[in-house]
Structures are given as C-alpha cells and as structure tokens.
Structure 1
Amino acid sequence: MSRSSATVGDRRWWCFLRDPRLSRIARAGQFTVPAMNEEELRSAIERPAAHAGLLLEDGLCDLLLRKLQEARGGAGDAIALPFLAHALRETWTGRVGTRLTFGGYQETGGIGTSVARAADRVHDALDADGRRELRELCLRMVRLVDGQGKAVRRRVRMGDLTSDGTRSGATVLLSLLTDARLVVVDDGEAQLCHDSLLHGWPRLRDWINADLDGLLVRRRLGEAADAWDETGRPPSGLYAGEHLAAARSLTENDGRTLPTRPVERDFLRAGDQAERRRKRLLVTGGAIVLALALASTLALVARRSQQEKVLATSHAGGHVQLWDLARRSEPRRAAPLDLGASAAIAFHPRGRLLAAQTDSRLTMWNVADPRKPRKLAERRNREGVTWTLAFSPDGRMLASGDAKGRLRLWDISEPSRPELRTERTVAPTGLISLSFYADEGLLVTGNGRSGPEDKVPAQVRLWKVSNPGRAVLLSTGTTDSVMAVAFDPQRLLVAATGRGGNLAWWAVDEADGLEPVEVSDPNWVWGSSSHLPSISFRPDGEVLAAADSLGNVKLRSTDGSDPSFATLTDESQLPAGDSVQALAFRPCPMW
C-alpha cells in the first residue's frame, strides 16, 4: 500500500476541512508543526552558520532573537521568520571574512526593513520605464483576495511575463529580483519569494492600494480567460454586459492597471464581438434570437433577361429595402417591403423572384420593377426565427433553417403557389447555414455546438433532396464550431467556417458521404481572432470569399490543382467599415 504526504499552510487548511472526504483524512493523519521556541530559533541561526564555517559576533544572535520576537508579536511567524531569513542573507553579503558582524546586520536595516531596502535598491537603480515595468511585473505576481487589499503571492508563467513586446525588459528585471532573493523562478514559473514581501515593502503595498478595484477585476478577468482557453474557448464562457465593460476598462485607464495578457486580449475581443452580435438579436418570447434582417446586403442577383439589377437589404424590425441598380454608380432607393418581423431573404438564381422568410411566414415577390414589387404568395408555417434561406440551383426548391433546428423545403415550381414539402427538426440547436450543390440534388446544412456546456461538437450534414418531400440524410460530420457552410460549385467539396477563423473541409463521396479532408497545415487559420459568419465560392470555384466580423471581406484564390484545398493563395481583403454578416457572388463567373 502506497502512502503520500502533503504540506498545507494554515491559510489553506480550511479547504481540506470543508471537503467531506478530505476532512476525514485530515483529522486522522494530521501532524501539526508548532511554532519554534527560542532554543530552536537559536539553533536555526547558529548551526547553519557553523556548518558553512562562519562565526557570529558575540551578542549578534541575541540581538536577532530579540528583534525577531518583536516582529513575531506584530506579524506572526508566517511573516517574521522570512524577514529573519532575508536579514541573515543580507548580513552574510556584508560579512567581514568569515564573520557575521553587527555592522553588516545594521546595514540591512534590520529584520523589519531588510526586505524593503533590498527591493528599493532594485527600484531606485532603474529609469522611469524600468520602474513602470517593475511595478507591472510585481503586481502580476500578486493575487488580490478581497476589496480590502488582502493579497497573497501568485505563481505566473514566464511566458505571460515576457511574451509581450512592451515588457521586453521583464527578463532582465526577473534576473535582478532573483539575485536580490526577492523572486523565485522555478519550473518555468516565477513568484515573489514569500508573502512577507507583501507586508515588508511599503512601495509594493502602495501599488496595490492605488487600484484595488482594478486589480480585483484584473484577477477575475485572468481566471475567466484561462478557464475559457482551457475549455476550448466556448462562447458560453465569454464576458457580457457589466462584466465585459468592467474588464474592458482595464485597457482604457492609461496604464494604471496592468496590461492584459494575450489570452485576456483574445477573451475580451471575443466578448466584444459576441456583444456586437447580441445587439443585433431580437427579443422573442422573452428569449434573444438572431435577427437575420441586417443592415448589410444579404443578396444580389443579375437579371439576365433585361440586364437590370436589383438589390435587397433586410433590416431589423421586418423592413426589407429594394434598390434600383440600373445605374451601378448611382443606386436608387426603391420600394420598401414591410414584413412585420425580421426576415431572411434570397433571390431566385435566374429570375426576378425574391423570397422572404420571417419567423412564421414565407412571402414571394416579383421585383422586376423594384419601385412596384408584387406579392405573389404568402404561406404560414410553424414559428421559429429563420437563420438561413437559399434557392436550389434550378430555382425549383427553397430551403430554410431556423433557430429550433428545423429544416424546411418548399416546392417553388409555381412561385405563386409555394408548397411546403418538408418540415422536420434535424439538429439539436439552431440550423445556422445551408448550401446547395450545383446539381446532384445535394444540400449541406450546419449547426453549432449543443448539449450541456456546449460539449457536443458542431455538425455538418449532407442531404439528398432530389425529392423535396423526402429529404434523405446521407452523412454527418463534426467540427469544433460552425458559422457557415458552402459547397464548392465545381468540385464535390464542402467548406465550413467557425469562430476564430477556423476552416474545416469534407470531400463528398457518393458511397461514404462526408469524408474529412486534411489540409497541408492543420494549424492554418483564416481570420486570426475574427469570426467568419459567411463564406461563398465564386461560381467558377477559383475564389473563396469570407465575411469578417472585424469589418472586412476576405478573398483567397484557390489552387485548382489541389483537390484537398491544402493550398489557398493570394490573400486579399476589401474594407467594409463594419462587421460583415453575409455575402454572395453574382451568378456569373466574373465579379
């Protein structure tokens, strides 16, 4: 039978007693280490010195014990003994030959102030920038426990102290603090030598007291960001509302509080992006649901018969605006469509037909004259906010996905008499995106993560929809997250984009369905920290475009010789000015 032991300080002992299992072990196997008496303290001073061949001047040990008793009366052993250890080390530094002298001890400032003198020597030798970096460095190694200023030491990864270019002197400072025995570096982590430094160095105490609220927010931000990162960066772990605003203030206070770490900046950036998305949501039945009627362009189609152009934009509140683009340099506002609720919209691939799907009804419009649109049909369906809408390439079918995971397939063979042929729940969460293949009767759908704490991966499903009344599931693929899916129009290849610019690929095999495609660089990310809520292939398959949540449209040329899409070249981007939510190419090979 194996045995193990653990050493626990009095500050952490309550954690064991609070746990019902650990408390039984603690009560049964506890070995208390009492405070050292005077004889033990004398031995602790004299015997190590003798072992090292050192002598103490007569009376020096008595003086040390007397001063130690005074310190113990005020701060207790947990603080006083580290003060003694530091004072002895500094006295040894000022020794005369092999003798520890009264003069050497007096130079340290004594047991109560030796730590402060050593720390101030490091501080005073630095220039203004160095002192600022020293403050940042020391405060990173402090954990504030409460709003009254109670603080303890904190172990910090070296990478968090030295990775940022603005803290390029951190390595040098750590070396100075380590040489002064103020900081301990071990196993890739750094920490203050002891909690005594928090009490014995007034300057550090002043730094802490100067911004207690900010340091508390900083501590909570660090814990939340680390937990978010360790669990795969799920949206459910992000800050929102007041918490996000308080954390964001850390970057806007002219440096009074510490600069944020890379993971914290990613965390705040993701929270900002999620907050912007939430502002576009509608409150429906007490819940926030996605408003697909955005101020951005959702669809644009060229009417080949008369070479006229019509643009439709869908906005929050159920307003769809038509634009006359007969003169592309001078777009003119045409008629509005008042649908009563936010709508997803889609143009027919070869005609003048506009479909608009709200949470409860589908309407079909003839927009040959954008100034006088004609409603062709209106059909009601079960309520559920529509997140995605698309026509099949031949224009005879309309597919939509809603917030309840329902897939709807409409027969639009007669636009004035649309017929709902399929309405079924196919995903455990909202059906975010869908895309038709050019032929073959194939449809791909995508939904996000689901389950408790979003532990079920996002899903991409391949369907056979040659008959809109009988959608057949062919295959299901999984990935970390899905925000949009798209079929390559020239190859049986599916792309899906998720948060953080990640892309996943599947080849479509008639026998095996979706087969994951390994790209040449598995760590390649398109979009860096931004999300890509929409992607679209140019009809010739030679360009892939992505909507960027940071306000750009990203473009990449595809290497047609590489069917696995391992090579994407010639990246460029078009500035859009605001977060882009959707994009589409016109249905012809040229832009």
Structure 2
Amino acid sequence: MPRRERPLDEGESGLLRFAADLRRLRERAGRPTYRELSRRAHYSAAALSEAAGGRKLPSLAVTRAYVQACDGDQEEWTRRWRAVADSEPHPAGGSPYAGLAMFQPDDAPKFFGRERLTAELLGTRKRFTGVFGPSGVGKSSLLRAGLIARTGDPVLLFTPGADPLEECAVALARLTGGDVGEIAADLADPKALRRHHAHLVVVDQFEELFTLCRSEELRTWLVTALLSCTKVVIAVRADYQAHCARYPELVGALDQVHVGPMTPDELRLAITGPAAAVGAKVETALLARLMADAVGQAAVLPLLSHALAETWQHRRGTTLTVAGYEQVGGLDHAVARTAQEVYDGLTGRQQEQAKRILLRLVTAESTKRRARGDELEADEEVLVALAAARLVVIGRDGVELAHEALIRSWPTLRDWVEEERENIRAQRELTHAVRTWESLDRDPGALFRGRRLTSVPPGLALNAAERAFLAASRAAEEELSATTRRRTRRQRQLLAALVVLLVVAASSTVFALRAGRTADEQRTNAVVLRAVGEAAALRSTNPALAQQVALAAHRLVPLPQARNGLRQEDVPSQVVREAPAEVTALVVGPTQQLVVTGHRDGAVVLAALDDLPSPRTFHEATRHTGAVTALAMDSTGTLVASVGDDGAVHVVDVSLGRPRELAALPAKATAIAWRGGTLVTTGDDGTLSFWTDLDRPRLVTTVQLGLGPLAALAFRADGRVLAAVTTGRAVHLADAADLRDVELLALTREFAGGAQFAGDSLLTTAGTAVHLWDVGDPRGPVLRAEIPSGGAQVTSARLGADRVAVATDDGLVRLWRLERGEPVEQALLRGHAGPVAAVGLTPQGDEVVTGGADRAVRLWEADPRDPAVRICEQAFPRMTREEWERYFGELPFRPPCPG
C-alpha cells in the first residue's frame, strides 16, 4: 500500500499553498498513483512526488508535466508558478552578469567574449578609429570594459549630447579636477582639446551628434577637435554611418572596425566566463539552452545577460541551472518584464508612440519584420528608449524587434497584435503598395483604385508617404470620375450642336470623330495604368492572372509602366555550390564559363559553370586569414586577384581551369583593379600601386590622387579612364592615359559604394538605386538612367552589354534589359535565404550567378524569349470575360492568350 503524503500547513507560505493545490488537482483527477503519473508525464515518480512535497519549488517543466498528467490548465499553472517564484527569497550575493546595463571599466573582470576586438583596438596604430555596429551589439561595453579598462594612460570619455563642447568640458573637468567654465571657454578653440588631453579620447554614441545636437557649428567643432587629437576612438550606430560622410575630412581619417554578433566560441565564453571568475559554473544543459537562444543574434546579448543576472539569484549553490533559468521565466519572461517596465515609464503620448512603433515591427502572423526609418516616423526619444532597453535594434537598413520572444511573451504587445490584426494586415499591404509606387517614380498606375481604395480601414496610423499615396489615389479616382462626367457632358453637347448645325454636318462629324478618338485614348490610357497597378498587387496571390493582365495592358497601350509588368518571376536556378561559409565576393570569367567566389572564412574557390548537371569539382585557389573583401579578374580571364580583411593581395593563374597561385604581393591593400595586364592596388593612404610580372611581382610606379583612402577602383577597358570611389562614397573620374600625370576630370553627382565600366558606360551603386552614366566624355559624365532596387539596399550590381543585374539585402536579384538605353525589368530572381552579397553575369549576359549570406552559389537562366510567348505558355487558367471586365471594364474583350 503506498505511503501517505506528509500533511501540509497551507498557511505556512505561498510555496506550501502551491503544493497543496497540486495535491488537490491530483485528487480531482481520480487520485492516480505517482507511478501512473510518471507513466503519463514521462518524469520519475520521485520528481513528481517531490513537486507536491512543499519543501522546494519544482522546476517549471516538472510542474507543467504534473498538471498535464492530471488534465489541468497548464497556462494557469505556469502563471501561478511564476508568481510563487517571484515571491520566494533569493540567495544573496552580487551577480557577475551586467544585465541590461552596459559594462563599465570596473566590470572588466567579468567582460568576456570580445577579446579579439579589444586586442584589435588596443593594437591599432591608426590615429582615428570608428567602431560601427547596430544598437544592442555591445559597442559601449567594448569601449568601456574592453578598451578603456586595459589602457594604461588616462582616457577622456564622453558622449556628444545636445552640446558636445559642454559635454567635453564636463568630462575634462571630471578627469583633471579643473573648472568646467574655464575649460569650456578655452575649448572654444577646437585645437585646445589636444592641449588639455594628449592621450586617448573616446566618444561613445557618436550618433548623438546627429540626433540630439541641432547646431551645425557645434558639430563642426567636435569633428575639428577630434581630428586634432593624438588618438581617438568613436562608437557609431550602424544606421548613422552614412551621416559621417557629411564631413569628408572625418571619413578620410577614419579607420573602421565593425562589431557584429559573437561567434559561438565567443558567446560560450561570455556565458561561462563571468561565472567562472567568481568560482561558479554554468550547468551544461543551461549552456546548450542559452546557445540555442542567442547564437547569431547581435542584439540579444543584453537580454541574455539580463536573464543570466536573474538566474544568478536562483542558482543552486555555485551552479547556474536550467531550473533557475526557468524559474525566472527564461529569456522570454525577462524580455516581457523589461518591456513592461520601459512602457510603464513613458508618458501617455510616448506610450501611444511606442505602440505605433512596435505594431509597425510585427506582421499579422505575429512575426517580427524590419521597417525603414522613414516608414516609422518615430519620436527619436521614444525610439532611443526602446533601443536603450534592448527591445528594438536600430541598424543601417532599418529598425526591428530585438527578439520575437517579445511578441510571444509580453502580454501587452500580444493583446495589441490580436486587437489590431486586421489593421496590421491592411497596413502591410498599404506599405508594400507605397514602396511599389515610389519605386515606379510615383506612377499613377500603381495607385489604389475602386474597392482597394475604399477598403482601407479609417483608423490606420499613417506616415507621410502613406498619406501622400492615399491622397493621390483619391485624387486619381476623383479625376477618373470627373473625366467620365466631362466626357458624357461633352458628348451630349456635341449631339445638340450636331442637330443645330446641320449646315456644317461634314465638318462637325469630323470634329466629333476626333474628339471621340481622343476621349477613347484617354479612357484607355487610364484603364491600362489602373490595370498595371492591379497586376502588381496581384503577383503574390495569382501570378498567372497577374501576368495576363500585364500583357493585355501592354498590348492595349505599350506604356513603359505596362512593359515593366511583364517581368519573369519564376526563373529556374541551380545551386552550383553549397559553401561552408557565406559568400562575400564573386567574379565570372569574361571568356569562359568560370566563376570564382570569395568567402567569409577567407577561402577563394574556383568552379566551372559549363558542366551542369553532372557532378562538379571545386578547387580552393587561395586563402586569406580574414574575410575576402574583393575579387578582380583580368580582361583575358587568366588571372584572378583577391584581397581580404587581412590586407593581403593574392594572385592566382586560372588559365588551365585549375588554380596556380603566384607569389603574394609585398603590399597591403584595401581595393584592387586590373588595368590591362597590370594589377592596381591601393591601401589606407590612397596611393595607387601598379604591379606587373606577377610571377615575381614588380612595382612599376605609384600614383597619389590626393583623395584620401579609396573604397573601390575601376578602369575603362582601354585603361585611359579611372573611376575612384572614396571612403566618403564620392566617385571621381580621372585621366589615367599617362601614369606620370594622372588628372582628375569630374565628380559624379550621386554618392556610391562601388563602380564598374562596360564600354563607355559606368555603373555605380548607392543606397536603394543603381546609376548608369555615359562617360564617353569623362569630363562631363551624363546620368543616363537610374535603376531602382525595389526599396531594399543594393549590395552588389553588374553591368553587361545590354543587361544589368542588381542584388539587394532582402534576398532578391533584379535583372534589367537595356532597350535603346532605357532599362526594362526582365526578371525577378528569388531563392536566396538572406542578403545576396555578390552578383555576376556570364559572358553572353543571359545567365546570372549569385552568392549570398546563405552560403549558396546559384546559377540562374532567365527566359530570353518574347514575354508574350513565355506568359501564354504558363497562363493557366486563361483569363475569363468576367476577369477582363474586372480589370478593363467596357473595353472590347481581347484575351491576351486565346484558347
């Protein structure tokens, strides 16, 4: 007979009441034996018995298993478990984890995982260093607990704030004991900063110079003052990196260090190191759980540290356990509690702003999404508060939630999403429509019409672009109605005039015919533009019908907007290679089907493209100690040069289809290019070095352009014109016919991140567009076309004879055909699971090669046939008369694909 359970005094504590209620739950379930409960719950009978024993709080997992075995409500018991866990006394002792707060210099003994970056900052000989990364990645902690804590000399640390001069003076007074007023008066001369402090100056949150400081005079003061100092390190949020380009002298002096997510080894050390430093340890199961939650996510580190700090208060002896982690709710519960505290600390108006921001960052399916800054139109103070609490991540390409756990675990946000689900769905559709409209240069054909316009919910929180879009849609709809009314009135007036003016019947008839023809043309144009917009919106739900609508619109009136709607979206691709590391650079041979790829792990790999679908072999051509940053192939397709984060330049002979590495260049470089058979390199000082005889590299000459460090180089095929891209993203054209006298000729009007020649055309990439320039006269480059990216950031682009391939960070590649100089979108390539880092075109230009962050190298073959042939071949089912009338109204039924 089983032993009776120990009686409980339910008044002793919440823990005992919890245990007593577990026993009552078992009684209501028919009082099964613990052996029977063990069979149902898959936990030992002893563990389940101990859960109802009242001596200690069981783990959340055991509690949920006990309740499930007794047919109880697991969610209700989860809430009760957390309430008891929060009420239980915590062991004493300071936590070795910093939680959500940034590390300070005194925290250096518990700062782990960033040893490589700390050593890089301590070892750099550069006078001016910029540390870039998204919010939440740990830039401030790196500077304080990493750099400053290990610097022997006094360090001046401050943030710009609204008045950089005053902030600097206060920090100097704190460091030296001087008078703030006297120091501030002396610092009116920016070069006085070096006289006051001749050691390291660290400026954290440098983006405050653009967000809080409103005085251009003070901004210029800070830049000038820092440029005069002996050694400077600044930390800049990644999305404000482009703002630094306003000051070319700052960009020219800046050496960049990028802070990204920790590697698995670094993350493991960041978890176990602080505990080990105080003689504690992390349970193996907990370490595995934490690694699974955090690997690869930059902004999750503070949240993880916060969860660990809470787990420390529930440790078992000197061990952090999974049970303790679950007791504080794990990462999810820590996130929810932090989020509620931040939200409760805002004013009523700020809470409304926070709600608007957060709902912009979720989908109707309760997943997170990235939103561009101009889409949010957020109050900077609220956004900074959310970012400071590590609830959102502000990156170069937009804002997103730090973790989807926020949606799942924060009841307030979960309720908002549930209440606003239909509005969120409508908002996402509206946002997509606005981006399409803007990518088509606000083409009226992309506006909402008819039912789509009237179905927009009235309560949506709109930004300026969305308000403009809806206003334009309503105006266009009203204009269409007014045009119809005017046309009807005009026809009636014409009929009356015909009755009265019988004596001039012939001339009146001609006039009527012409007026009718003009009205018909206007009506048809309006209908076609509306159909083009409808087809664009229909692509995601019914691509076959969308293509037929676009084709019918183009046949009715061959407008450019209609022509762009015929692009191919089902382009087949083959995976050429699944690499062990993400692709960072790519080049396709000019005379043979050959592709060379560079990777994050430093490998440069050679592969042939002409042996599909047979099994292929790959050859590692060379390897860098850092990520490959650029590849360049000479015009004959026999030599490939590569440069990596390590600055080394390797040259490989690929003429026989197998790589043969030549001697490494005795130089460090940041960018490379070929000028005929001569390899040109440039380093941190911006000097161009020309190398020949690459079996035994010989330096022919050097050229100083006087532009500072260069980010990229490109030579026209004849070698007479050079395009030099500065780190400030300006593109300079230079006459390079005579290397003894290189002359700067022109400066393009748009900033760019890269450049490439094809004949007399120059392609430059910048932001969300690609620019094509006619440089037949390099002294006066003419902007021939601007090719949009669809709203995402351009990561790579390639110009062929009559094709342009544009890759973006949303995982898409757009292929454009140049028809009489005008770009027409030919195909949209989908298939990469992440940003596409590099793109190339095969020699004939009919195939595209891509490589991305998902480590795949893909070969795409777009259909070169007339779009009508391709569309009608795939158009099933065919367009019906009812569908025609839906999109083209009363126009005569002319199905684009008969049969």
TM range (shorter): 0.3 to 0.5
Flag the structure with more relative contact order, 1 or 2, with Cα contacts below 8 A and sequence separation at least 6: 2
So what's the TM-score if we normalise by structure 1? 0.47
So what's the TM-score if we normalise by structure 2? 0.33
More helix by share: 2
